[in-house]
Structure 1
Amino acid sequence: MTIAAIIVNYGTGKLILDHLIQIREELATVPGSHLYIVDNLSPNGDAALLTEGTTGMDDVTVIGAPRNGGFSYGNNRGFDQAIADGGYDHYYLLNPDAYPRPGCLKALLAFMAEHPKAGLVGSRLEGLDGHIQSSAFRFMSLESEFASAAKLGIFNRLFASKRVARPPQDEAHKTDWVCGASMLLTAEALEKVGLMDEKYFLYFEEVDFQRAIIKAGFEIWYVPSAHAIHLVGQSTDMKDGKQSAGTAPDYWYDSRRYYFEKNHGAAFADKADRAWAWGKRAGGLKSLLKGQGLSSVDRDIAGLEAARKRAAS
């Protein structure tokens, strides 16, 4: 069994180099494996930094992409190069703000060997403090769109069975999708579904990709015996769908809209937009009771409408 690990970088080269030893040591436990780092034309000189920082490492290849085409685009350049180099049995997609703990890859490989229908598996993700992060999820629904936008306990309880994030569990289980920060897929699954959809710039692409893998007859599993560290938000400056400035960027709204239209149709996408907007307004009532304004709610709903118009143009 061999693994091609792929990391897509945009402005986080130092973060990758900080954890390169751990990544290479883990890959070395699976002989014949290789690390591909794709730099999406970072404006801060990361391509040179990464090239210099990996000089003399035969198990690492730095790929300078000609443009910043997003997460799917970057991963696809990694897939392309890995396949051109002869191909691998498995492909390990790793965020630049994540790295595997010792034994992670062998645990994932062992699980896949015991579950031949598993086309993609995700590891348990945890912070440096040991806090276990939610990394197994359900597909989004109208109910979950409303509840996630409202962020009110009453709706989270009411629609608990539809909640996207599943509570972390100690046992491996099938799920709709796993976090793309640390996931392993088989060459067979990649061959059947093809490369990732490059119409997504960032966000929702891993959900779409795993939906395609399930449609092709494979299973998605969460494997908590495999551990990886995930420094949430350090690669995108976003947490919970928000940038540090307090609102999501246009590409988040565009990716969300595209995901719903592609997988459920425009009519469902419109319903999902309304559910999300109603949820935002419901959550906004709490802000009003606290004497706060609704400017952030208005901005979020405006972002949703702008994405709908861009998709229709």
Structure 2
Amino acid sequence: MKIVFVILHYHAKEETIKSVASIQEKTDVEEYKIVIVDNASKDGSGEYLKKKYEADEHITVLLNEQNLGFARGNNVGFRYAKNTWDPDYIVLMNNDVYLLDDDTVSKIEQEYQRSQFAVLGPMIYTVDGRCNINPIRLQPMTKAEVEKEIRIYSNKQKLYHYHLDTLRDFYRRIRPVKKKKSYKVFIERMEHVQLHGCFMVFSRKYTEKFDGLDDRTFLYREEAILYKHMCENSLNCVYLPDIHVFHREDASTDTIVKTDRERVIFEISHHLKSLNVLKKVYESYEGSGGGK
């Protein structure tokens, strides 16, 4: 098998159907499969998709009994693809991501011949017109930076717990936060960078060493954890702007939390939990002197 696309699904079935259609239309090889992992959707959409695609030999729908979060949910599909077909490439993609190129697989293969990448990320277009969310970082965070982020999110959590966010918003209106300068690194191909998690291609360089993502998080910071593992294991993460995808962003999260305040509290809580996992990853490498 050449390539397997793993789509993590939670509610938002129309987005998943569009994502599947883009793969069927744009994939430039016959040796491909699609694995849809339903992360215990409560609206029956997992069963709907299983029935919809049951006659399609290219598509398998797996139904999780509980919501496993991003990393563990993706790993269900990753391991199924690896153990069933042992493909050259496994793609983990959100259910609101669509392929835009007619030669995506050809470009992936050409890049692998060039760099022997472990993980590959594309240029990502978004609803608001941006195309610069990849790469996320050009250098890994230091442990001190991780600890600073933990303090920042701990303070944010207290802010919302005591309903002080309205005071903060008022202060920002009278004294706006300065925006950081944005550099156009996204137009250039780059190696050894941190990639966005909505669409990642894993080659045999990765699958021979790892059996999926680090699954200690529920949501957020998976990219930073992955990047640290890649750096410590001398594996290459390549950003290739010649490949293009569209990401609608937060389609599944929109079905979990309804109000802006609920959304922010949800995000802060899970960012904080994941940052503490990231800190443990850093400590494990510092303690062992490297390695997996």
User: 3-state DSSP class of the match of 1:201?
Assistant: coil
- In structure 2, what residue type is equivalent to 1:178? L
- In structure 1, what residue type is equivalent to 2:205? E
TM-score (norm 2): 0.77
Q: Is the 8 A contact 2:197 2:222 kept in 1?
A: no
Tell me by how many angstroms 1:167 deviates: 4.1
1:61-110 CA distance string (max 9 Å, x none): 00011211111111111122112313101111111111111233322222
1:162-187 CA distance string (max 9 Å, x none): xxx86443220124310011111112
Structure 1: how far apart are the matches of 2:22 and 2:54? 17
Tell me by how many angstroms 1:215 deviates: 2.1
Which one is further off, 101-110 or 195-204? 101-110
| Aligned CA distance change for structure 1 residues 244 and 234 (closer, same or farther; 3 Å) | farther
Q: Report what 2:106 is aligned to.
A: 106
User: 3-state DSSP class of the match of 2:270?
Assistant: helix
Q: Report what 2:170 is aligned to.
A: none
User: 3-state DSSP class of the match of 2:186?
Assistant: coil
Q: Report what 1:140 is aligned to.
A: 141
**Mapping of 1:65-144 within 5 angstroms?**
65-102=64-101, 103-116=103-116, 118-128=117-127, 130-138=129-137, 139-141=140-142, 142=144
Equivalent residue for 2:251, pick from 216, 221, 234: 234
- In structure 1, what residue type is equivalent to 2:130? H
Structure 2: how far apart are the matches of 1:152 and 1:220? 32
Q: Report what 2:201 is aligned to.
A: 184
Q: Percent identity?
A: 22
Q: Does 1:219 align with 2:244?
A: no
Q: Report what 1:244 is aligned to.
A: 260
- In structure 2, what residue type is equivalent to 1:115? S
Q: Is the 8 A contact 2:7 2:35 kept in 1?
A: yes
Which one is further off, 17-26 or 179-188? 17-26
Tell me by how many angstroms 1:194 deviates: 3.0
Structure 1: how far apart are the matches of 2:186 and 2:264? 31
Structure 2: how far apart are the matches of 1:56 and 1:214? 42
- In structure 2, what residue type is equivalent to 1:180? G
User: 3-state DSSP class of the match of 1:6?
Assistant: strand
Tell me by how many angstroms 1:127 deviates: 2.3
Q: Report what 1:262 is aligned to.
A: 281
- In structure 1, what residue type is equivalent to 2:194? W
Structure 2: how far apart are the matches of 1:247 and 1:100? 29
Q: Is the 8 A contact 2:19 2:95 kept in 1?
A: no
Q: Does 1:4 align with 2:23?
A: no
**What's the RMSD between the two structures over aligned residues?**
2.9
Structure 2: how far apart are the matches of 1:35 and 1:128? 25
- In structure 2, what residue type is equivalent to 1:17? I
User: 3-state DSSP class of the match of 1:169?
Assistant: helix
Q: Is the 8 A contact 1:26 1:105 kept in 2?
A: no
Q: Is the 8 A contact 2:40 2:66 kept in 1?
A: yes
Structure 2: how far apart are the matches of 1:175 and 1:75? 23
Structure 2: how far apart are the matches of 1:127 and 1:20? 18
TM-score (norm 1): 0.72
Return the structure number with greater relative CO, CA threshold 8 A, min gap 6. Answer: 2
Q: Report what 2:163 is aligned to.
A: none
| Runs of at least 5 residues in structure 1 that lack an aligned partner in the other structure | 158-164, 266-313
Structure 2: how far apart are the matches of 1:122 and 1:14? 24
Q: Is the 8 A contact 1:23 1:99 kept in 2?
A: yes
Tell me by how many angstroms 1:220 deviates: 0.8
User: 3-state DSSP class of the match of 1:8?
Assistant: strand
- In structure 2, what residue type is equivalent to 1:222? Y
- In structure 2, what residue type is equivalent to 1:83? K
| Aligned CA distance change for structure 1 residues 127 and 75 (closer, same or farther; 3 Å) | same
| Aligned CA distance change for structure 1 residues 85 and 166 (closer, same or farther; 3 Å) | farther
- Number of equivalences: 252
| Runs of at least 5 residues in structure 2 that lack an aligned partner in the other structure | 157-175, 285-292
Structure 1: how far apart are the matches of 2:185 and 2:248? 17
